[in-house]
Structure 1
Amino acid sequence: SARSLAKAVGLSHTSVQRIWAAHGLKPHLTKTFKLSNDKQFVEKVTDVVGLYLDPPDRALVFSVDEKSQIQALDRTQPGLPMKKGRAGTMTHDYKRHGTTTLLAALDVATGRVIGECMKRHRHQEWLKFLRLIDRSTPKGFDLHLIADNYAIHKHPAVKAWLAKHPRFHMHFTPTSASWLNQVERFFGLITGDRIRCGVFKSVAQLEAAIQDYLDHHNADPKPFVWTKSATDILEKVARGRQALESQH
C-alpha cells in the first residue's frame, strides 16, 4: 500500500501516490497470464483462426466445449430486491443441491448454440453430444469442430465414431489457450447473466434455467466477431515471451 511503502522509505503516503501516478504504476493491480508451451502452437493458432476468418465452403464451424461442475446453489436466507439507493442482496453462504455439466457448440457464423445438460462429462456424454450435433445440422455440410485438448475429446471410442462420420473434422486449440475457443465467451455470458445471480433449489431447476437461457439466446442469436489475424496473435505472443526472457 502507499502508506506501508511511505513508512518504509520515509516519505508521506501522498508523495508515494504522486510518484506512482507520474510513472503510471499501479502496485495494487495484478494481471494473470499463461503462455502456451504447445510445440504445435503456431500451426494450431493458424488453423483455428483460419476457420474463424475464412471458413471452408459448404461447411459449418462450431466452437465446442463443456462447462462442468455448474452448482445448483440455494441461499440460506431470502435476498432483498433492488430498489432506489440500494443494490439487490443475497446471502454470502449457500446450500449445495448438486451439479450439472453444460455441453455447448457455438455456430461461429450465426451465434446459435446447440446445448444440452448432462450429469457427467465422460467420453460417453461427449459421444452423445456429437450425435446431437449430427442430428441438429444439415446433412450436406461438413462440420468443423474447434475443441480443447481434454482427454475425452481424443478417447479411442470417440476416434472410432469420428472415423465412421467423415463429415466431422476436429481442430484442437493449443494447450493453455482457452481464449482461442469462442464458446468460452458464451460460457462467460451465461455465467454472468443467469447462473451466478440465480437461486436454484435443485439440479432440475438449474437445468431448466440454462435451457431457458439457451432458448432465449437462440431466438435472436448474434455471432462474436473475430478480428485478430493469426499473424497478430503470434506477434503478440512473441513479444510476451521476449518480455519474460528479458526479466528472467
Structure 2
Amino acid sequence: MLDAAHGYSNARIAQRRDVHIDTVRLWRGRYDSEQGVTSLADRPRPGRPPTFGPLQRAEIKALACQLPAESGVPLSRWSRGDLAREAVARGLATAISASTVRRILATDLLKPWQYQSWIFIRDPAFAAKAARVLDLYARVWDGLPLGADEYVISADEKTSIQARCRCHPTLPPGTSRMMRVNHDYDRGGALAYLAAYDVHTARVMGRCSAKTGIVPFMDLVEQIMTSEPYTSAKRVFWVVDNGSSHRGKAAADRLAERFPNAVMLHTPVHASWLNQVEIFFSIVQRKVITPNDFTDLDQVEDRLIAFERRYNETARPFRWKFTPADLEDLLARIERHEQKKSNSQQPLGCDQQPAVLDQAA
C-alpha cells in the first residue's frame, strides 16, 4: 500500500515485493481510505472459534512437564486421560478430552506417558577407560594403528535364558491374524549364553552353559584363543564389562597368564553400552528368544548355536557412531551439569545475596 501511495503500478509493486500481481490487486482492493490500516486486518474466519486459548494451552503443557507426585497425584507418569481429568480438576478447562490434550502437547512434541531410563556416570576413570575402548574400535592402541595380526574381541554373557514350554501350541500367522502364543507355560530351566564378537570381522563365537562364572568364561576364552587366527595373533584385545566372571585386575592377570598374547580391557563401571557384543545380544533377544517357546534347554541351545551360524553367514561390522569427539562432548556436558549442581547447592554467605534481590535492586 505504501508503494501504491508512491504511484507505483501493480506490476511494478509485484516486482519490487516479489509477489504475484494478483496478490497486489487483492490487497489494493481491500484497502479502504476511510478505515486506513485497520481495513487490512484479518477478517472474521468461518468455523467454530478456538475453544482453548494460548494461556490454557500453556498451562496444560506446564502441567504435563511436572511429575504427578509433585502435584500430589498418586501416579508414576501422566497419560492423556489423566492430564485431561487433572486439567478439569484444576479449573484449567470446564471440559477437555484426551485427544485434545494429545493435540495440544503434539505442538511441542511432549509425550509424558513415555519415559527413558538413564544412569549417571560414576566411574572416576570413565574418560580413560572409554577412550581406550573407542580407540580399539578405531583400530588404534597407544596412538599406533593395529596390525593385520591384531584383533579386538567384545565378550559377555547373556544370563537366565529360560525354556518356557507353552501349554498349547503356538499358532502361526494367518489371514488378518498375528502369531498367537499361549500365556500359560511350564518352566524348563534356564541357561546362559556366552559370546565373543570380533569387532572388525563381525564374527560371533559362543557357547551355552548351565551357569556363569570364572570357569564358564575361561572356557569361552579357551574356545576362541585355541582357534585361528587368534592362536597365532600378535595380540587379541578382550573388551569386557565389570561382571563377576571377569572383574578387575585378577581377571586380566588370569587371562594373560593363560594366553600371553591376550589383553583384557574393562569398560567403565555402568557403561556396558560401550561393549559391542551387547548389540548382538539385543538381536538375539528379538530374533531368537522372543517369544519364548521352547520344550527344553536342549532346544534353546540348539536354536542359539544355529542362529550364530546363520548370523555369521551375512554379518557385517556394526556402524559404531560414538567417537572420541562424542566422548569429549559428553564429558563437557557432565562437567557443566556438576558445576550447575554445585552452584545451586552452595550456601549463601554473609556477603552473598540471592539473585532475586539483585534483580529487584
Q: CA deviation at 1:160?
A: 3.2
The one-letter code matched in structure 2 to 1:147 is V
Q: CA deviation at 1:70?
A: 0.7
Which runs of structure 2 are paired with 1:205-216 in the superposition (5 Å)?
205-216=299-310
Q: 1:86 pairs with 166, 177, 180, which one?
A: 177
Residue equivalent to 1:151: 244
Q: CA deviation at 1:120?
A: 1.2
Does structure 2 conserve the Cα–Cα contact (< 8 Å) formed by 1:6 and 1:16?
A: no
Distance 1:17 1:195, change over 3 A: closer
Unaligned runs of 5+ in 2: 1-78, 141-145, 345-361
Q: CA deviation at 1:241?
A: 6.3
Q: CA deviation at 1:32?
A: 0.8
User: Does 177-186 or 87-96 show the bigger shift?
Assistant: 87-96
Secondary structure of the residue aligned to 1:51 is helix
Q: CA deviation at 1:210?
A: 0.5
Does structure 1 conserve the Cα–Cα contact (< 8 Å) formed by 2:252 and 2:264?
A: no
Q: CA deviation at 1:18?
A: 3.9
Identity %: 31
- Please tell me whether residue 5 in structure 1 is matched to residue 86 in structure 2: yes
Measure the CA separation in 2 of the matches of 1:197 and 1:15. 36
User: Does 18-27 or 149-158 show the bigger shift?
Assistant: 149-158
Unaligned runs of 5+ in 1: none
Measure the CA separation in 2 of the matches of 1:213 and 1:118. 17
Q: CA RMSD in A?
A: 2.2
Q: 1:19 pairs with 104, 109, 112, which one?
A: 104
Measure the CA separation in 1 of the matches of 2:209 and 2:302. 12
Aligned length: 248
Q: CA deviation at 1:246?
A: 5.1
- Please tell me whether residue 114 in structure 1 is matched to residue 205 in structure 2: yes
Measure the CA separation in 2 of the matches of 1:48 and 1:59. 15
Secondary structure of the residue aligned to 2:236 is strand
**Larger Rg, first or second structure (1 or 2):** 2
Does structure 1 conserve the Cα–Cα contact (< 8 Å) formed by 2:190 and 2:297?
A: yes
Secondary structure of the residue aligned to 1:121 is coil
Secondary structure of the residue aligned to 1:105 is strand
Secondary structure of the residue aligned to 1:109 is coil
Q: 2:260 pairs with 147, 162, 166, which one?
A: 166
**For 1:25-83, what per-residue CA distance to the aligned partner results, in whole angstroms no more than 9, with x for missing partners?**
21111111112211110001100000001242120101100011111111121222101
Which runs of structure 2 are paired with 1:12-51 in the superposition (5 Å)?
12-13=96-97, 16-51=101-136
**For 1:170-213, what per-residue CA distance to the aligned partner results, in whole angstroms no more than 9, with x for missing partners?**
11101111111100000010111011124211111110111110
The one-letter code matched in structure 2 to 1:30 is Y
Q: CA deviation at 1:165?
A: 1.9
Residue equivalent to 2:164: 73
Which runs of structure 2 are paired with 1:98-137 in the superposition (5 Å)?
98-137=189-228
The one-letter code matched in structure 2 to 1:21 is A
Measure the CA separation in 2 of the matches of 1:198 and 1:17. 35
Measure the CA separation in 1 of the matches of 2:88 and 2:264. 58
Q: CA deviation at 1:221?
A: 2.2
Measure the CA separation in 2 of the matches of 1:33 and 1:134. 35
- Please tell me whether residue 187 in structure 1 is matched to residue 281 in structure 2: yes
Does structure 2 conserve the Cα–Cα contact (< 8 Å) formed by 1:35 and 1:237?
A: no
The one-letter code matched in structure 2 to 1:6 is A
Measure the CA separation in 1 of the matches of 2:337 and 2:277. 30
Measure the CA separation in 1 of the matches of 2:103 and 2:340. 28
Residue equivalent to 2:39: none
Q: 2:318 pairs with 220, 224, 227, which one?
A: 224
**For 1:110-149, what per-residue CA distance to the aligned partner results, in whole angstroms no more than 9, with x for missing partners?**
1110100011111111111111111123233110010001
Secondary structure of the residue aligned to 2:295 is coil
Does structure 2 conserve the Cα–Cα contact (< 8 Å) formed by 1:72 and 1:98?
A: yes
Distance 1:246 1:26, change over 3 A: farther
TM-score when normalising by structure 2: 0.64
Distance 1:17 1:152, change over 3 A: closer
Secondary structure of the residue aligned to 1:144 is strand
Does structure 1 conserve the Cα–Cα contact (< 8 Å) formed by 2:133 and 2:239?
A: yes
Q: CA deviation at 1:150?
A: 1.2
Q: 1:177 pairs with 271, 285, 288, which one?
A: 271
Distance 1:241 1:33, change over 3 A: farther
Measure the CA separation in 1 of the matches of 2:121 and 2:274. 11
TM-score when normalising by structure 1: 0.91
